[in-house]
Each structure stands twice: as C-alpha cells, then as structure tokens.
Structure 1
C-alpha cells in the first residue's frame, strides 16, 4: 500500500492498520501459551510469597494461591504433563467428531452439497442463498473458507453480479459467524470441553453438553443470514458496484472451481440424505421404549446416554452419509478408502492437536495453582459489591473479548485463555457456563473477519484480487466492517432478548 493511499485512509483504517502491525508481532498461538505458562509460573510464585487468598464460597475456608516454583509445583508440572494433555476435554471430542466429518468431506459429499445449493439460485435470492449455505458449510471447519469463497464468487458471476460481493459474503458468513451453524460441528465439542474443564473449578461434577448452545446457534445462523443479506444489499453491494474494478467477465475461469453438479453426484446426495433420514428415524424409534438403553434414569431423554454421548452419534451420522455418497459416486470403492479418509481428516487436525498440547499444560498449571479460582472469586465479589446487573456483566465481558479478538483469532485458543476466569466468575454470579459460552461465541466471531491476524484474511483478499488487483487490506476491511458491526449489534440484542425470555440455549441447558 502506497504512502499516498495511507494518507487517504480515515482514522478507523489507520487504527486497524496499527492493530495489524501490533498483532503481527504476536507469536504463534502455541508459543503464546508457552509464554503465558512461564508468566503463570512466575505470577503464582509472587502471589504465593505474599500469601494471597480469598474465601471459598463453597466451604467458607481460605483458598490460597499455590506456587508453581515449589517442590510440589515442579513435581506436578513434570508428572502431570501427559495427564494434562490426554485428559484435556476437547482432545477426544474433536478427534471423534472429525473421524466422521472427514469421511463426509473427503468422499466429496460436503463439497458437492455446497455446489448443489448454489448452482441454480435465482439472482434475487443469491445473497441469502450464499449466506445460508455458508452456515451449513461451517461443518467443514476451516476448509469452508477455501471452498465457499470461490463458489460464492461463481454464484454471483452466474447471475451477472460482481463476484467481489460473493467473496465478501462467504468470508463473513464463514469467519464472522464462526462457531454457530445449522448443523452441530467439531467446534461445539471443543467449546463444551473447555467450558466443562473451567466449570469444574467450582463444581467438580459439572458437565457442559456438546449441544448445550444448539438452539441459540441455529437461531443465530438463520438471523445472521438475514442480516448479512440486508446489509449486503443496502451497503456492501453499492460500495462494490461503485468501485472502479475489472469486469467480472475478465476473471480467468480456470482459476475458479467448476460449479456444476453431475447427475451421479446428485444421485449420491439423494442417497446420502435418505441414509440420514433412516439413521435419525432409527434413533427416534430406539428412544421410544421407556426402558431404552439410550434413555437416562427414570426414562429421561435429555439427561441420557444419547445426549451424553452425542459426539459418538454425530460421528456415526457423518460416517454413514459419507460412505453412502462415496459408494454411490465411486470415491469409496474398496474398504481401505474408509480408514484412509479418516486418516486424512486427522492429518488436518494436527495443527489443533499441537496447539492443544500447549493449552492443556497452561490450564493444568492454572487449575493446580488456584489462580483461576482466586481471580474468579475476587472478581465476582467485586461485581457483587458494585451491584452489577447481568446485562452490564455481559457487556463488559463482550468488550473484553472483542478487544482480544483483534489479536487472537483462534476461537479455541481464546476460549481456553478466558474460560478458566469467566466461567467460574459468572457461575459465582449465578450465570451458568452454557450462557457464558454462548456469550463468548457471540462476542468472538464478528471481529474475526476484520482483523488481518486471521489466517483467512489473506485468503479472502487473494480471491478478491483476481477481480480487483489493486485491492489491499483497507479494501477488504472497509467492505467487511459494516457487516461485522451490524452482526455484532444484532447478535447482542438477540442474546439479551433470549436471556430475558429464559429460553433454553440448547438441549439440557439450564436457564439462568
């Protein structure tokens, strides 16, 4: 970006440019948690030396900070290293879910469904169709960025509109609404696992269900698809159309994937959907008898093996539809293809598994030192003394998360960082972990699409430059900003309304 261009930027873009420069100096999230672990060790030693403590609300006894720079602390860090990692709740949950999702993805089912959803959309519905399809596409995780941005560009070009609009919608709908979607995904398992670990600082038996935010997520996905549509048509599309960009017809066709869906692929999708209906129907039938092994004590449905083990049933669901599609279209032709696809899916998880190692050690240290509980109890008491209402607590929490989100764009990394403090603190204020988790998801996602710290910011900008070579960081930020701000405001209002009405956030989720 030239100096002349920089001079023409307004205060907001100059601020975001500063955020970019500062954020780029932050280390990789793995090293960030290693550094934080070292800082935690030193802080625990300092606070323990001053005998910092609080009164535990559980038993009325003093709760002291324990020094990690001690014989017991060093012994814990060495002897519990493997246990901290193996027992890290999200580790097993996301691994199991992704075994199934990988089969559905690598067999070609998920990409084919995305193409089928957008291949013949009328011009007047293309914006909403792209936004809503991206809500489904989030099941594919980060791969949704690479798949949906070019598909959205093709969909817009096919109806005679500027493909840049499609790229912006897809980028925001996947990244700016991340962790909510039409279907449960691996992120649900990861969030629930981290929330469970944090909640057990107060209640050792607390369990946050994988689907504990599903009702809220489903409603959020539909509402945000509508909001994205309205803001795009009223603001973003007009700004894009006003740009002095190249004609859409000048895009090199070979650089974008084929949008067509073959007859065989459509047959595979139909059979996969039939398999899904049969599978879900069998689950419903299995739950009918009051003595079903899938029911809980006294015939309970919510508090039952089905919901407690929902990750297993999600894995089987995606495996079944993926295998059905693969056999139909020929992408699964021999038994070894099935485990091969699962292996490919696990390879995609390797960066997350490495990050989980650093996070699990940090959380293990945090829990053993009592630092998380001491901070949570002290902050909760401070807020009670101030007479802070839940709405003020929500707004303060949201502001904190939004600021942090400009620098740390990994949702699981940031939730791992703040959950050990926020979840116990809000539990002491009689706000359930499921509510805190939903608040985090709502506050975390919108700004993901603004900050250049996001690894997919560059991906989106690269696709946009195929149509507008002169596009820079400021171009993408200016196009995304209206969507991010309106999404955040509308989402917050929805959350506050949901909370005020006492609607459950998901199956089995308690109401505050």
Structure 2
C-alpha cells in the first residue's frame, strides 16, 4: 500500500519539541512503581512528622490526630500483618475481575466488533457523525479495546461516504478519549473509581460507600450533551478545515456476515429478555430486588449487586452470540476465552497491589486525615469552599493527568487527600469523584504520556503516508480545547442546579 511508507517510530522522530516531551514523559515510572516510590516517601514523611509530634484536631470527633510512623516497630507490624488484607480488601479488585469475565467473553466471541460494525452500516448518512460519536461514547464498555477498534472503523466509514477519514477518526477518538467514561451504561471505570473513592471516604466516615452508579445521572446526561456538541465541532469546524480528501483508495469497511447478523439479533432478543426479567424483579412493590426493610430501590440488593448483575448480563450476551455465531462450540471454549481475557488484567493486578498499599498506609499513618483537615481549614479561612475550590481541584487533577496514562492511578493518588477534605466541607464523595471525572478526560488526546500514540499515527498513516505527530496534534488539539470547555461548563451548570449526581447521591452531605 503506497500510504504505508513511514513507520510509527519514524513519524514520532519528526516531532521536535513534542518528541522531547514524549521522551520525558516516558521516563516516568510505571504507575505500580510510582506508588511503591510514594509509599517509601510516605514512610519517611510519617517518621519525621511523628518525631516532631505534629497533631491536628479532627473537626467531627474533636479528638487529636496523631501521626503514626511506618518506620516504627508499630509500623513494621502493621505492614506485615495487613499487606495481604489491604490487597484483598481493595474494593475495585474483585469487581474488576468479575466484570472482566463478562466483558472478556463478549469481546472474545466477536460480539463487540460486530455490534459496532453493524450499527455503523445501518446509519442514515446525515446522522453519521452523531452516530459515530454516540457509538464511540457507548464503546467505553469495551474499555481500552474501544480505542483500538472504533476510531479506525469511523475513519473507514467516513472514507466510504466520500468524507475525510481524518474527521471520522478524530471525532471518534475525541469521544472515547476526551469524553472518557461518559456512558449510559455502567462500565469498568465506574466500578474502579467508585471503589477507590469508597476507600478514601472511609478515612472520614468508616461507613461511607460510593457505588458504581453514583455518577450515573451526570455521566448519562454528558453523553447526549457531548455528542451533540462534538458533532457540531466536527461538521462545522474540523472537517471544513481538512478539505476534500485525496489519497489512498484501498481501505474498505467490512460488513458483518449473515451468520454474524443473525447471532447479533439473537443476542438482542436475549438482552431484552434479561432486562424484562430484571424489571419484574425490581419494579413491582415488594419485588425481590427491592430493599426488604424500606421497599425502596435505594439501598436495595439491586443497587448493591449492580456489578454481579452487569456480569450476568454480559455473560448472557456473550454466550448467546457465541453459540449462535459458532465461536463457542463447547464449555471449554467459554473457559478458554475467559481465561484469555484475564491475561489483560496482569498490569492492573500489579498496579492495584501498589495502590491498595499506598491508600491503606496513607490512612493508617493519619497523614491523609491531617492533610484533609488542614486543607479544609485553610480553604475555609480564605473563604474558598465552593465552586472555585472544586475548579482548582479539577485543574490540578487534569494537570497530573497529562503526565500519566492511567486516570485511575491519578485518582488513587488524589482521592485520599481531596475526598476527605471536601467531605469535611460538606460534599458527598460521589460528587467529588464526579468533579474529578469532569476534569480528567478532556486533554487525554494530547497528553504527554500516551501509550496509544504509535497506534494513532499508524491509523492516520493509512490515509496520509507522511502523517506525524504534528498531523495528529493539529487534528486533536481543537477537540481537546473544546472538551475542556464543554466539561467545565457542564460541571458548573450541574453545580449551580444542585442536581444529584446519581441515584441516592446528592451533591452535599448536609
């Protein structure tokens, strides 16, 4: 193919200053190593503060807060006796592992890929841009796999319609990457972040729980809001600037086969049956999945069991599609596919170990409570306890996000400080998590540390042989800036309305 002249590595080497930034960013350690380093630093700081007898008064219990040293005998005993418990009890660990079984099966049988292609092929031309963006948001269900699969398909579709493929690629990538975690469904990121937030919230309130659906109102609304605006940005600004496409004409968008489409229809029927059964068990008064004490949905087995229910839903879809399409022939195939999906969890399992130890140690030393209390008192002393404080927190999280490819790692770093601090100012932990999510994603496409950059350049290279980092950035910077503005405006609007961020999750605790 005449467009594939330069390799991704050669393209990156032409980045100049941006290449230097990339090299600097790549020198940052892996998130797991980073948190192990932070634990070592925390140990030293805890020893110093403990020796100086630094204390504070807890604003809720009015008891003195004493710093405990990790380098003391007590600290050593805590590390040895609690290390395994810290890991096993890390809230996201079990939830992510269970969900991976369901998502992994759906992906391995080919359901995800066929569903995306089938949806794209059935879209009327005038709604293509909006549909591409909307599907890209919904593709978060496939986690990082969406970044690999959907933008190239969007580029192919735009090309097949005589439109510039870069516009399709960029619009899809922006929705997935800059609109990260905005979805109508509960995805793995909801589970991961809520688990980290729960752990941090327990520093102030041992009974605090943030569920995966506690940001659902905000994240669902953002899908439609961002889809409409991203469509306008693409069709009115980005695509006209690109002009008519003149280049390679050898890229085709493969249509699903008849067998795949029949399997997809059967899967849709299975999904409807599952949802219908679930509604029967939830909607009627006194239904089995309602709260047995109050009869409400709040605090019900349905709310507490959303992850197992989502797993069963995905398992149903994956099994139906696999059996109907022929990709599953026996039970061994199912186990093999699930086992294969777990291989992709290895990095998360290692990172989760380090994060779990850091958060637990941060809480045990009482440094998290000290910092949160001091921070809350400082913000109150300068009368900065409302929207300005939240916006500064969002900007700080976004700044850190430029230097790491893992948003969950940034949240694991920030949550032990900012969740307790804002809780002491009266904010619900789910609302604080929402503020982080609104501020975290917009600049993902131009982040300094981007492990997918060579993949993106290769995708663009299929349509323009000399596409390099400059091409990529000139394409994505307008989206990054637009999403930055759109996310912040949405957050400010939500804050001013006082709307809850999810079912049973108000903005404030009091």
**Alignment pair present for 1:486 and 2:491:** no
**Paired residues for 1:136-175 under 5 Å:** 136-175=138-177
Task: Tell me which residue corresponds to 1:11.
Answer: none
Alignment CA distance shift 1:109-1:4 (3 Å): closer
Give the deviation of 1:246 after TM superposition. Answer: 5.4
CA distance in 1, matches of 2:350, 2:66: 32
**Residue 53 of structure 1 aligns with which residue?**
55
> 1:499, CA displacement in angstroms?
2.0
SS of the equivalent of 2:443 reads helix
Shift of 1:305: 0.6
| Partner SS for 1:455 | coil
User: What is the correspondence of 1:109-258 to structure 2 with a 5 Å cutoff?
Assistant: 109-241=111-243, 247-249=247-249, 252-253=250-251, 258=253
Matching residue of 2:24:
22
In structure 2, how many angstroms separate the alpha carbons of the residues matched to 1:379 and 1:50? 20
Question: RMSD between aligned alpha carbons?
Answer: 2.0
Tell me which residue corresponds to 1:339: 335
**CA distance in 1 between partners of 2:102 and 2:349 (Å):** 17
1:459 positional shift: 1.5
Secondary structure of 1:63's counterpart equals strand
| 1-structure distance, mates of 2:246, 2:360 | 54
| Map 1:376-391 → 2, pairs under 5 A | 376-391=372-387
Structure 1 window deviating more from structure 2 (500-509 vs 391-400): it is 500-509
Matching residue of 1:403: 399
Does the aligned pair in 1 maintain the 2:47–2:70 contact within 8 Å? Answer: yes
Say if 2:502 is the partner of 1:502: no
Unaligned runs of 5+ in 2: 1-9
Structure 1: distance between partners of 2:147 and 2:275 = 29
Q: Please, what TM-score do these two structures have when normalized by structure 1?
A: 0.93
| 1:306 positional shift | 0.6
Q: Is the counterpart of residue 429 in structure 1 residue 425 in structure 2?
A: yes
Q: Residue 30 of structure 1: CA displacement?
A: 1.4
Segment of structure 1 superposing worse, 203-212 or 231-240 = 231-240
CA–CA separation in structure 1 for the residues paired with 2:447 and 2:36? 23
**Match status 1:281 vs 2:276:** yes
Shift in Å, 1:235: 2.4
Aligned to 1:260: 255
Residue number in structure 2 paired with 1:271: 266
Deviation at 1:241, TM superposition (A): 2.6
Q: When the two structures are superposed, what TM-score results if normalisation uses the length of structure 2?
A: 0.93
Comparing 459-468 with 194-203, greater Cα deviation is found at 459-468
Kindly indicate whether the alpha-carbon contact (under 8 Å) linking 1:451 and 1:457 is maintained by their aligned counterparts in 2. no
Single out whichever of 414-423 and 446-455 deviates more from structure 2.
Answer: 446-455
CA distance in 2, matches of 1:2, 1:168: 18
CA distance in 1 between partners of 2:11 and 2:356 (Å): 43
The verdict on how the C-alpha distance between 1:144 and 1:2 changes in structure 2, with shifts beyond 3 A counting, is: closer
Deviations 1:35-72 (CA, angstroms, capped at 9, x unpaired): 11111111111111211121101211110221111001
Name the SS for the 1:202 alignment partner: coil
- Evaluate the alpha carbon distance shift between residue 479 and residue 193 of structure 1 in structure 2; reply closer, same or farther with a 3 A threshold: same
Question: What is the total number of aligned residue pairs between the two structures?
Answer: 498
Change in 2 beyond 3 A, CA 1:2/1:119: closer
